Structure 1
Amino acid sequence: MALEKATETEIQAFIAKYDAWRIEGGKLHREYIFNDFIEAFGFMTKAALVAQSSNHHPEWSNVYKKVVVDLTTHESAGITQLDFELAAKMEQLADLTQDLQ
């Protein structure tokens, strides 16, 4: 059973709270810049464990110290509560990993 897609009001409330996130191509989008590759990859490793435990996986890429993340729930064809939860956890992990530039 698919989760309900988030309303525009819910999406805007999330972005108001986490202003580094934006909507791009119908997905929650965020670019993280870390101090170096080790920090970036460490963040991705921690985030991968969180994603696996919730069975909700990001679309992401890494080049050197940059990590680009897109979140959407494929089964619902849009953004859902699962995306908000994973994005919020990623913010916590990033804060613990280092001071973002």
Structure 2
Amino acid sequence: MSKLSEQDIEKYLLRFPDWTYSNNAIHVEFEFDNFKDCFSAMSRIAFECEALNHHPNWTNIYNTLSISLSTHDAGGVTKKDFKLAEAIETIVEVQE
């Protein structure tokens, strides 16, 4: 899978208004009502990551989940990252 240009990344990001692009990755932060809801979303996201064989860099502090997506083999953001971002958005939207 080939790395997307910054122009293409900006076009894709129009569909993901909460996501930003910097340092060769796309980033988002979600805040949940509590740790349990945050961890539940992380667990559901993990299953999707395994299905796509694509894994995020993420951190969790109490009720906040920060995610960065980049395709390491390509050295930046690819369509694979946006496919996972779309799945993450669907999971988090259902959670809310």
TM-score by length of 2: 0.96
Query: Alignment length, in residue pairs?
Result: 96
- Among candidates 63, 80, 97, match of residue 78 of structure 2: 80
Deviations 1:22-72 (A, max 9, x none): 012211000001111111001100000000011100000101000000000
Give the ranges of 4+ consecutive aligned residues of structure 1 lying more than 4 Å apart after TM superposition: none
Q: How does 1:50-61 map to 2 (within 5 A)?
A: 50-61=48-59
SS in 2 for 1:32: strand
- Runs of 5+ in structure 1 lacking a partner? none
Distance (Å, rounded) in 1 between the aligned partners of 2:12 and 2:46: 22
Query: Where does residue 68 of structure 2 map in the other structure?
Result: 70
Query: Where does residue 23 of structure 1 map in the other structure?
Result: 21
SS in 2 for 1:45: helix
Distance (Å, rounded) in 2 between the aligned partners of 1:69 and 1:28: 8
1:37 aligns with 2:35: yes
- Percent identity between the two aligned chains: 29
RMSD across aligned C-alpha pairs, in angstroms? 0.8
- Which stretch of structure 1 is more off in the superposition, 6-15 or 18-27? 6-15
After TM superposition, give the deviation of residue 8 of structure 1 in Å. 2.1
- Runs of 5+ in structure 2 lacking a partner? none
Distance (Å, rounded) in 2 between the aligned partners of 1:31 and 1:14: 18
